[in-house]
Chains A and B, each alone.
Chain A
Amino acid sequence: MKKEKGRNKISRRTFIGYTASLGAVAGMSTILPPYAFAGFNERDILEPSGVDNVLDLTISEFPIEIDGKKTTAIGINGSVPGPLIRLKEGEDVLLRVTNNLDEDTSIHWHGILLPFNMDGVPGVSFEGIKPGETFEYKYPVEQNGTYWYHSHSGLQEQLGHYGPMIIDPAGKDPVEYDREYPVILGDWTFESPYKVLAKLKKQDGYYNYQQRTLGEFFKDAKEDGFGKAMKDYLAFGKMRMSATDLADITGEAYTYLMNGRGPDSNWNALFKKGEKIRLRFINAATASQFDVRIPGLKMTVVQADGQNVKPITIDEFRIGIAETYDVIVEPKEEKPFTIFAESMDRSGYARGTLAPRDGMEAAVPELRPRPKRSMKDMGMKMDMAGMDMDGNMDNMEGMDHGNMNMDHGNMNHGDMMMPVKVADPVEHGPDRHGIGAAAIADYQFDRLDEPGIGLGNDGRKVLVYRDLKSLKPNIDEREPQRDVELHLTGNMERYMWSFDGKQFYEVDGPIEFKHNERLRLTLVNDTMMEHPIHLHGMWMEMENGNGIYNPRKHTLLLQPAQRISARVTPLDKGPWAFHCHILYHMDMGMFRVVKVVDKLTEV
């Protein structure tokens, strides 16, 4: 009943069917999801039906084409990405997943709060889905926003086993828009991901063809002076680190995808002049962070990780793996705009076109030069005057910013929001995490006002974590009663990844969170790479100085030598996965089980 009503309800959004353009591309391929074609509309969406609100999904292996090159994928319902699943807040759903592979599979509903046994992590929440079996995921949908789903088995995610999930709010959507598109970013390799991993194990810089060369040294020496350049190169050499270690796997192996299409295949999103278009960006890549911009258009961020945020208008944002950002754009001209998602290491890009008519394209920007790591990324206090100043200025700005918002909060919510001045940088403790950790960040920085490496220095306004303010205040106003601190560690040379220097296989039990407690989870990145850290089953309210409006995140992208904390209220009991969302890092041990229990085990 409820369902029928929903179906017949005439949406206030105007969906315009571009049937002609659909027809034009229909013959081209059947392996892209319908929304990857122009004119994505309600017919292309998978919605649950029947009394039980059932939706069927099938996992199988099938041939696909990426930019004209034939290859084989493992995916959902025969397309990469999988179908757009559209649910409604407040309903119970039954998602039946059938495994047609000859290996185990699973689907994890990323960012969805549900009973632990529906979370879809083999070995943690359930036993996985065996070949030929159907698993029934049944859970109440109690949230809304942009999410996604993907395999949590082996390296299947790299092979195309991911898709978008949009949950419409039960009430009025605070975000106004006329048209919407999911924009799913991905990375595709024609090599077996297992071979990719084996190569990284043998030579960590295997895919990096943007390393510093003698030529670059002479260039740097010319620009910065010989002494300074030498000092910088020697500092990295001494640490046995690479200043160009930005991505383990690069454009050398990857074709970057937007809705399953390579840059040559130009995904099209159609619009009419004057419309408000909601783009739901999802980073479903396995090892690539992206920097997204649409030259000629401002973007207004309205949602992050499925949670509405106070609108903030920007030119560019970095999207960590597994994060989602919803933005509103309003093209005022009848012309095409390039949606440009540059890989963080600048070795390639995914792109699509926001176009008034199908088949149009706009100029594709040049890739910007590959940035390089700084002393700060290595967790050192900088003695290079320029950088030091930058750092301090950032932090000071942050401080002001934070306090301002705190005051704002104070006015509304009494004394809940006393600003706590946190030292920045924080010094590392005596534990160096053993030999599994090649380095530690002697100094850990707040970095909430830094957009990240290679960004923010070209006049564009780039989103920073400090900007994210929840639209609605968080419910749990308690101060944290307990602290849990975890360090992100690794050894690039041996290609080992871990928390606190311990790979997952070395750990003999879960990290316990107490049911209903208010906890501060502090994450410290001791490595000099970015890591998107994902906590299943509960929100991380990132402490970014916005008090009661701290944003709720399911994935936090940690910059090198960054120290971030989040408040957590564990509401759903049971075991939950907690890991780095770089697929290869998770598989090399950067993984933990968090168990929500009634009573903490005494130690």
Chain B
Amino acid sequence: MKNNNNLKAHLFLQTMKFRLTLCIRNLNAFAGALALLILLVSGRALAQTAPPFSNDMFMDNKTFTFLIFDRLEYSSINGPDPLVLDAQGWIGKDFHKFWFKIEGDAQTTEKEGEMEIQGLYSRGISSYFDFQAGLRYDMSYNAKDNNSRGFAVIGIQGLAPYLFEVDGSVQFSQDGDISASFEGELDLLVTQRIIAQPRFTTNLALQEVEEWGVGSGINDIQLGFRLRYEIRREFAPYIGISWNRQLGQTADLAREEGGEASNFGLVGGVRMWF
């Protein structure tokens, strides 16, 4: 009903407009010679004005968001059988983003776990790389106590030649300890939907931090190989293997705690993004 009225009103307006056009036509007849003159002088864009120049017409400066759970997995490592969460995401524009990263694990056999959270400003510095700076906060808990510490972080993340996804950062803890992390992974297409992903992680520290089980030097090396099946691009269950080797002082500290310096396990999980 309302639509009908709108239509009627609209038709009425159209008719009026049409009459007005006719009216203007008659007027124009008088001004014909003048119009012709203007036409000859100024081309056919008669005294028409264009909207002022604007570069804000498209989505080329729009804010987008991304959230990925790269690893949401269960490991069958002898003893602890940890659940692992490795997620990150961003909100922002092409070269300016707020980037956050969460990485944590919790053991299923004992009350023990840890989690690190980072909030970073991410600035595009090349076609493929972002410089990142911000804060990181680590938390850990076990049967005995809880622990936490904060860091300032700077790093570089992006796509390296030969299509390696890399992420390297240096952390300065609230106590003045300096450490660094590096992560690299590569997607190898076995088929269009089965994707093999070798993964390499390492951590190193300048100072020993005993309460965090960190020795000075190279702390550990982790090698992983995961095979995922992309049911959709956004959702891919996977299986794989993971080998973690702690080194030097860090290994000693682990052994003192009654743990293993080397772990090998099967992993299974899901990778998903939004």
Question: For the complex, is A305 an interface residue (Cβ under 8 Å from B)?
Answer: no
- Which residues of A have CB within 8 Å of B59? 197, 587-588
Instruction: Tell me which of A25-33, A480-488, A502-510 binds B.
Output: A502-510
B192 x A209 contact (CB < 8 A): yes
Which residue of B has the minimal Cβ distance to A50?
A: B18
Question: For the complex, is B147 an interface residue (Cβ under 8 Å from A)?
Answer: no
Question: For the complex, is A335 an interface residue (Cβ under 8 Å from B)?
Answer: no
Which residues of A491-535 are within 8 A (CB) of B? 491, 493-494, 496-497, 503-510, 515
**A213, A508, A588: the one within 8 Å of B192 (CB):** A213
**B126, B160, B162, B189: the one within 8 Å of A234 (CB):** B162
Instruction: Tell me which of A118-126, A352-360, A401-409 binds B.
Output: A118-126
Residue positions of A touching B, CB distance < 8 A = 52, 96, 98, 115-117, 122-127, 132, 134, 136, 140, 197-199, 201-203, 206, 209-215, 234, 237-240, 435-439, 491, 493-494, 496-497, 503-510, 515, 571-575, 586-589, 591, 593
Which residue of A has the minimal Cβ distance to B68?
A: A202
- Which residues of B have CB within 8 Å of A122? 57
B127 x A214 contact (CB < 8 A): no
Q: In the complex the two chains form, what is the Cα distance from A214 to B198 in whole Å? A: 14
- Which residues of B have CB within 8 Å of A117? 45, 48, 50
Shortest Cβ gap from B201 to chain A (Å): 22
Question: For the complex, is B188 an interface residue (Cβ under 8 Å from A)?
Answer: yes
B189 x A213 contact (CB < 8 A): yes
A238 x B161 contact (CB < 8 A): yes
Report which residue of B21, B94, B128 has the largest number of chain A beta carbons within 10 angstroms of its beta carbon. Answer: B94
List 4 additional A-B contacts (Cβ < 8 Å) besides A124-B57, A572-B44.
Answer: A96-B14, A201-B66, A209-B192, A574-B50
B50 x A125 contact (CB < 8 A): yes
**B13, B44, B55, B127: the one within 8 Å of A507 (CB):** B55
Shortest Cβ gap from B12 to chain A (Å): 12
Question: For the complex, is B176 an interface residue (Cβ under 8 Å from A)?
Answer: no
User: Can you give 16 A-B contacts (C-beta < 8 A)?
Assistant: A115-B45, A116-B45, A124-B50, A124-B51, A124-B57, A132-B10, A209-B192, A211-B192, A214-B190, A234-B162, A239-B161, A496-B94, A504-B60, A573-B42, A588-B60, A591-B57
Which residues of B11-38 are within 8 A (CB) of A? 13-14, 17, 21
Q: In the complex the two chains form, what is the Cα distance from A134 to B18 in whole Å? A: 12
- Which residues of B have CB within 8 Å of A515? 43
Q: In the complex the two chains form, what is the Cα distance from A507 to B61 in whole Å? A: 12
- Which residues of A have CB within 8 Å of B6? 132
For B, the interface residue count at a CB cutoff of 8 angstroms equals 45
Given A116-B48, A435-B127: A504 touches B43 (CB 8 Å cut-off)? no
**B13, B43, B53: the one within 8 Å of A573 (CB):** B43
Question: For the complex, is B212 an interface residue (Cβ under 8 Å from A)?
Answer: no
Shortest Cβ gap from B46 to chain A (Å): 8
B53 x A115 contact (CB < 8 A): no
- Which residues of B have CB within 8 Å of A506? 55
Given A115-B44, A123-B51, A572-B45: A591 touches B189 (CB 8 Å cut-off)? no
Residue positions of B touching A, CB distance < 8 A = 6, 10, 13-14, 17, 21, 42-46, 48, 50-51, 53-61, 64, 66, 94-95, 124-128, 159-163, 188-193, 233, 273
Q: In the complex the two chains form, what is the Cα distance from A457 to B188 in whole Å? A: 30
Shortest Cβ gap from B102 to chain A (Å): 18
Q: In the complex the two chains form, what is the Cα distance from A140 to B46 in whole Å? A: 13
Shortest Cβ gap from A130 to chain B (Å): 14
A505 x B58 contact (CB < 8 A): yes
Shortest Cβ gap from A114 to chain B (Å): 9
- Which residues of A have CB within 8 Å of B45? 115-117, 572-574
- Which residues of A have CB within 8 Å of B14? 96, 134
- Which residues of A have CB within 8 Å of B159? 240, 493
Q: In the complex the two chains form, what is the Cα distance from A589 to B94 in whole Å? A: 12
B57 x A435 contact (CB < 8 A): no
- Which residues of B have CB within 8 Å of A215? 190-191
Q: In the complex the two chains form, what is the Cα distance from A45 to B242 in whole Å? A: 67
- Which residues of A have CB within 8 Å of B192? 209-211, 213
Report which residue of B60, B94, B161 has the largest number of chain A beta carbons within 10 angstroms of its beta carbon. Answer: B60
- Which residues of B have CB within 8 Å of A586? 58
- Which residues of A have CB within 8 Å of B17? 134, 136
B95 x A504 contact (CB < 8 A): no
Shortest Cβ gap from B141 to chain A (Å): 34
Which residue of B has the minimal Cβ distance to A241?
A: B163
Shortest Cβ gap from A579 to chain B (Å): 9
A237 x B190 contact (CB < 8 A): no
Given A134-B14, A209-B192: A237 touches B161 (CB 8 Å cut-off)? yes
Shortest Cβ gap from A386 to chain B (Å): 25
B53 x A505 contact (CB < 8 A): no
A508 x B51 contact (CB < 8 A): no
- Which residues of A have CB within 8 Å of B124? 435, 494
Q: In the complex the two chains form, what is the Cα distance from A136 to B17 in whole Å? A: 10
Q: In the complex the two chains form, what is the Cα distance from A591 to B59 in whole Å? A: 11
Given A237-B162, A572-B44: A503 touches B190 (CB 8 Å cut-off)? no
- Which residues of A have CB within 8 Å of B58? 504-505, 586-589, 591
A574 x B48 contact (CB < 8 A): yes
Which 5 pairs across A and B sit closest by C-beta, in order of nearness?
A589-B60, A505-B61, A237-B162, A123-B57, A438-B127
- Which residues of B have CB within 8 Å of A435? 95, 124-127
Q: In the complex the two chains form, what is the Cα distance from A73 to B55 in whole Å? A: 28
Q: In the complex the two chains form, what is the Cα distance from A116 to B46 in whole Å? A: 10
- Which residues of A have CB within 8 Å of B13? 134
- Which residues of B have CB within 8 Å of A496? 60, 94
Shortest Cβ gap from B82 to chain A (Å): 28
Given A213-B192, A214-B189: A201 touches B53 (CB 8 Å cut-off)? no
Shortest Cβ gap from A64 to chain B (Å): 20
A572 x B51 contact (CB < 8 A): no
Q: In the complex the two chains form, what is the Cα distance from A115 to B43 in whole Å? A: 9
Q: In the complex the two chains form, what is the Cα distance from A8 to B160 in whole Å? A: 69
Which residue of B has the minimal Cβ distance to A209?
A: B192
Q: In the complex the two chains form, what is the Cα distance from A436 to B94 in whole Å? A: 9
- Which residues of B have CB within 8 Å of A197? 59
- Which residues of B have CB within 8 Å of A504? 55, 57-58, 60
**A115, A213, A587, A588: the one within 8 Å of B48 (CB):** A115
A508 x B55 contact (CB < 8 A): yes
Shortest Cβ gap from B264 to chain A (Å): 25
- Which residues of B have CB within 8 Å of A202? 64, 66, 273
- Which residues of B have CB within 8 Å of A588? 58-60
Which residue of A has the minimal Cβ distance to B43?
A: A573
- Which residues of B have CB within 8 Å of A123? 51, 54, 56-57
- Which residues of B have CB within 8 Å of A98? 10
Shortest Cβ gap from A492 to chain B (Å): 10
Which residue of B has the minimal Cβ distance to A152?
A: B57
Shortest Cβ gap from A185 to chain B (Å): 24
Which residue of A has the minimal Cβ distance to B230?
A: A209
B54 x A198 contact (CB < 8 A): no
